[in-house]
Amino acid sequence: MKKMIKIAIAGLGTVGSSVINYLEKNNNYLSKNINNQIKIVGICASNIKKSRSFDINKYVWFDDPVDMIKKTSPNIFIELIGTEKGISYDSIKYAIEHNVHVISANKALIANYGNELFPLAEKNNINFLFEASVAGGIPVIKIIKESLLGNNITKISGILNGSTNYILSNMTNNELEYKVAFDNAQNEGYLEANPDFDINGIDSAHKLSILSSLCFKNKLTKFDSIYCEGISKINKIDIKYAKQLNFVIKLLSVAEIIENKLIQYVKPIMIDKNLQLAKVDGVLNGIEITSNELGKIFFQGNGAGGPATASSVISDIVQISKNNIQPSLGMSFDNLKKSDNLSIVDPLKHYNSYYIRLNVKDQKGVLADITSHLKNHNISIETLIQNPKDEEFQDDFIPLVFITHKTYFYNIKNSINKIISLENINNEPVVIQIDKV
């Protein structure tokens, strides 16, 4: 006889509604495949009057998720509200403490409170799963946690935020200014009501923090140990120079082990236009994992949106239906490395090539002043580009682009501090890391 799995869903927005739509359409198919019956025993959101893509009268409604868990005693509580702490945290904790399995798509909460909630879930012998929290529909968490658990992963590099990738792709493909591409993304509904987390790289950093723990078998690192830089400084002209140099600019999230030290950052990077990550266009996400055993493997797919994210929530239901309890990060929490003991490389000590664009007054001696500051900070120049005056630049200012040889980031920072004090420089310089193949 088929067992009944009772689920209670809190949050009926983009993702929650899609989970219900999926179950209404495919419950028989799913039940047959997992040999269990799925029943939604409760639904919860903040506004009962809101119009939904399904008929709420078919379900038992609750205004409060904790009340829903108390009254329905589900086997699985699915949290799709999305607050960083508050009600999402309270309801997840309540479920775990009452031995209810938890599924969540809430990367901000997991990145910040995973270290508290994962061991609690382990102690209470329940699953706390979160496949939907990173890269929407791409099942990257399961792959790292299960298929690659025996591999020595050395690097993970990904485009983890669809909205910013849409903006950068739009700027690249249609030669648009940042502001125009941003407005397009907003009009298409690709940006959150408050887009700051996307634009400033915070959303990507939350996801990177989760992936980095999974890959390198450590507890979640302190969030501020991830160097984070957004895309709002990128200008149409930088995209143009990137093209000229056969690069593409992508907001990359990277975690890497070099000489036993962990490097983690989210920033716009110029990468070779022929790389797979360079070809991840629009709202798609892409992830490349490098391990000693496999070399590089690559995944691409829908990183957001209701149906894609619901697919990951459903995959967690499938996992729980198998009745085996799995630690949230793939290994017993006590066996993970303590994040305090990790050697995390100071971002100022990141060692790379850089693109530096300055807007300078076209006057004698300016170039000599700039190069002398670069030289004083041990920066050697690989390429200098001084195109004829661009039509977009008015007055006497022209763009001057330097591609540096590899150097420490502190050298770049210190030299820029000096250069901006020069008289003939207009605006903040734009500095972009270059990853050469």
Instruction: Show which residues are catalytic.
Output: 207
Q: Minimum distance between the CB of residue 15 and ligand NAP, rounded to whole angstroms?
A: 4
CB atoms within 10 A of CB 325: 14
Based on the shown chain and the rule CB under 6 A, indicate whether residue 305 belongs to the binding site for ligand NAP.
yes
Shortest distance in whole angstroms from residue 164 CB to ligand NAP? 14
The answer for residues whose C-beta is within 8 angstroms of residue 323's C-beta and 6 or more apart is none
**# chain residues binding ligand NAP, by CB under 6 A:** 25
Q: Tell me how far, at minimum, the Cβ of 213 lies from ligand NAP, in Å.
A: 18
Q: Among 80, 126, 242, 277, which residue sits at the site for ligand NAP (rule: CB under 6 A)?
A: 80
Report the chain's terminal Cα–Cα distance, integer Å.
Answer: 56
**In angstroms, rounded to a whole number, what is the distance separating the alpha carbons of residues 313 and 53?**
18
Q: Which is nearer to ligand NAP, 19 or 168 (CB)?
A: 19
Q: Which of 30, 43, 44, 398 binds ligand NAP (CB under 6 A)?
A: 44
* Residue 110 or 430 having the CB closest to ligand NAP: 110
The pattern of x and - marking residues 51 through 70 that bind ligand NAP according to CB under 6 A reads --------------x-----
Q: Which of 19, 38, 72, 82 binds ligand NAP (CB under 6 A)?
A: 82
For 364, which DSSP code?
T
Of the pair 86, 378, the CB lying nearest ligand NAP is at 86
Q: Label residue 333 exposed, middle or buried (CB < 10 Å: 0-12, 13-18, 19+).
A: middle
- The verdict on 16 binding ligand NAP (CB under 6 A) reads yes
Give 226-266 as a DSSP string.
SEE--STT--HHHHHHHHHTTEEEEEEEEEEEETTEEEEEE
Chain residues 263-302 in contact with ligand NAP, contact rule CB under 6 A: none
Q: Nearest distance from residue 162's CB to ligand NAP, in Å? A: 8
**Per rule CB under 6 A, is residue 139 in the interface with ligand NAP?**
no
Instruction: Name residues whose C-beta falls within 8 Å of residue 324's C-beta, 6 or more positions apart in sequence.
Output: none
Query: Could you say whether residue 309 binds ligand NAP (CB under 6 A)?
Result: yes
Quote the crossing angle between the two packed helices 409-419 and 366-376, to the nearest 10°. 150
The closest of 214, 195, 159, 229 to 432, measured between CA atoms, is 229
**Nearest approach, Cβ of residue 407 and ligand NAP (Å):** 37
Residue 10 sits in the site that holds ligand NAP (CB under 6 A): yes
Contact predicate 178/167, CB 8 Å: yes
Confirm if 162 and 285 have CB atoms less than 8 A apart. yes
304 near ligand NAP, rule: CB under 6 A = yes
Residue 205 CB, nearest approach to ligand NAP (Å): 13
Q: Which residues pair with 284 in a beta bridge?
A: 302
Check binding of 138 to ligand NAP (CB under 6 A): no
Q: How far is the CB of 167 from ligand NAP (least distance, A)?
A: 16
19 binds ligand NAP (CB under 6 A): no
* Beta carbon nearer to ligand NAP, 138 or 226: 138
Among 257, 196, 253, 197, smallest CA distance to 226 is for 253
For residues 101 and 350, which CB has a smaller minimum distance to ligand NAP in the complex? 101
Helices and strands: H and E segment counts in the chain: 13, 17
Task: State the Cα–Cα distance between residues 277 and 266, nearest whole angstrom.
Answer: 15
Tell me which of 2, 3, 32, 50 binds ligand NAP, using CB under 6 A. Answer: 50
Q: Does 106 bind ligand NAP (CB under 6 A)?
A: yes
Residue 81 binding ligand NAP, by CB under 6 A = yes
Residue nearest to ligand NAP (CB): 13
Kindly state the smallest distance separating residue 83's Cβ from ligand NAP, in Å.
Answer: 7
Report the relative pairing of strands 261-272 and 425-435 from DSSP bridges.
parallel
Q: How far apart are CA 214 and CA 139, in angstroms?
A: 13
Q: What SS3 class is residue 209?
A: helix
Q: Is 45 near ligand NAP (CB under 6 A)? A: yes
Query: Would you tell me which residues interact with ligand NAP (CB under 6 A)?
Result: 10-16, 44-47, 50, 65, 80-82, 87, 105-107, 132, 136, 304-305, 309
